Structure formats: structure tokens, C-alpha cells
Amino acid sequence: MIFTLTMNPCLDRYLYIDELKEDDTVRVKRFSDYPAGKGIDVSRVIRELGGVSVAITLLGGSTGRKIEELLDEEGVIYTAIRVEPETRINIILQVGKRQYRLSLPGEPVEKEKLEKVRETLQALIRPGDVVVISGSLPTGVSPDFYTGIIFMLKHWGIKVYFDSDGENLKAGLIAEPDGIKPNIYELSRVVNRKINEEDINEVINAAKEIYDNYKVKEIIVSLGNSGAVLYTKDGVWKVKVPKLPVVSAVGAGDAFLAAYVLKKTEGADCAEALRYAGASGAATVLTPGTQLCRKKDVDALYYRVEVEQIK
């Protein structure tokens, strides 16, 4: 079974308008709400692709209830740990082809709810399961929380994929997750130097540095519309995705990771899992807002994705 953990979820509210006008009434043509947070996105994609996962997350207030309703509508299985603070909202203004993202701050959650996360994981997860831990932490929670959670899961015999940034990512790496999926900017912050995504050897060397220092078995570096690189002890693979018109790139990395983990748990080899992941990430840019990928688009793009073992 695949589980996802999202510690800092949000509701993404897209407002579609024609023009921003100073000191004048701006009419919203329409709006759309989406359940958001990187781990939730992973579970949504797995559901769309025909797989099964359980999304574990912290939800509070009427916004949290709205997220539950939206997950119910999509058929995503979830376990919500109810917290006192209202779940945060991101406002995205879509003005023609331009986009403005307004991220509201979240509030600290009760310490006992952090312990409830551990208890929930212990109750649901069994040896051999896979857990995808994604995204940021609630306000005031130390990055060490991720260190402890990953150590705990690894001790239980769980395979862990970890996708975060900055100090959270560095803290999680200490616990040696099985796989990580940084983008080029997150990779640069881990190795403390700017990595040129167009220099494949530079990307590979940075991934090897993480492999050597933290014993991470699978390092997937997403390179946007340039594809991705997978570094393992058994080899290095390069993924090339087709060039497509971008409607919204939000969630493409989450879709890539979701498809990769799903296919790996089904027994696919690296090449097949990467091809499906590349198709899922590419398909996501064809949908507006955070609708993520559609299976019919993924299937159509699958054979247009090129995967090559380069080392």
C-alpha cells in the first residue's frame, strides 16, 4: 500500500479575471478550488492513474472541511487529523496568461497533534508499505520533525520517498530516505552551490554527492520541460519529455513522483517507471490550475517520452 503524508496542506483558490485595475472593482469571471499540498497531489495523481493510496494530512476549520469534500469528489482515500487552526488558503490570480500567487501564512498546530501523526502512521502502516512524505511543515515545527518521522518509518521496514526543500530536506536526508525528488533549485540548495541544469554531468555529480553523503538509493532530479535524471548505484537514466503548450505547470513534479512510485510498487523497472512518470508530469502542464494530469493524456504521451540509461 502507498501512503502519503502532507503536514502543511492548503486550499488553492484560482480566481480568473480579465484585468487588474488599481482603485477599481475587479470582477472575477469564475473561480475554482483545489485540494492542495504536495503529498495530497501525489495521492490525487495515483487515484487518477488507477492506483490506490491513502493521504494522511492535518486539516482544520471550514477550509479543512472543504478540502475533505473535494477529496471525496475525486475519490481520494484519506485520513484527516483534525487540528484547531484553520487550514491555509493560497489565492492564485489568473490574469490572461499571467499568474499571481498569494500564499497566506498558516498557524501553529497543537503539539499533541504532531504526536497524533506518529500514532496514525503506527496504526495504519505495515512493513513493506511505501510512504511518500512531501512538502513543508506547519509554522513553528522544527525540521527535525522530518528526521524523526523518517527514522521511525525506516525502523519499521517502510520504504520512504521524501520531497521537500531547504532545511526540511536537509533534516530529512539525515534519516536516509530511500528516494528523493528535488528540482534543480532544491538540489542546488542541498549541495550549497548553483547547479546548471543544462550540464548533465554537473547534475549527476551533485546527485552522486547526495548518494555518497546520505545513502539515498534513488535520487530523481526534475528538470522542468527538460525532463529528469535518476541516479542510483546501478546506473543513471535521463528522461526527455515532449515539448507541449503549458497551461499550468503547477503540480508537474508531484505527478512525476506519483507515477514513478506507483509503477515501482507495481514491479516496473526504472525505464518503464520513468517513462510513465515523464508522461504524467508532461500531461499535468496541459490542465489549468491544479487539476493535475488526466490518464488519457498520460497514456497518449507515454510513447513520446524518451528514457536512456547514460551510465
Active site residues: 254
Other beta carbons less than 10 A from residue 156's beta carbon? 16
Alpha-carbon span 158 to 178, nearest angstrom: 9
Phi, then psi, of 84 in degrees rounded to 5 = -70, -45
Coil, strand, or helix at residue 94?
A: strand
User: At which residue does the C-alpha cell 528522461 appear?
Assistant: 239
Cell readout for 11 is: 486550499
Alpha-carbon span 176 to 116, nearest angstrom: 23
Length, in residues, of the chain: 311
List, in order, residues 6 or more apart from 185 with CB less than 8 Å away: none
Other beta carbons less than 10 A from residue 196's beta carbon? 12
List, in order, residues 6 or more apart from 301 with CB less than 8 Å away: 241, 242, 278, 279, 282, 283
Q: From the CA atom positions of the chain, what is the Rg in Å?
A: 19
Cell readout for 43 is: 495521492
User: At which residue does the C-alpha cell 501512503 appear?
Assistant: 3
**In the 8-state DSSP scheme, what is residue 239?**
E
- Residue 197 CA: distances (Å) to CA of 96, 192, 202, 235, 254: 29, 15, 8, 19, 19
Torsion of CA 160, 161, 164, 166, to 10 degrees: 70
Coil, strand, or helix at residue 221?
A: strand
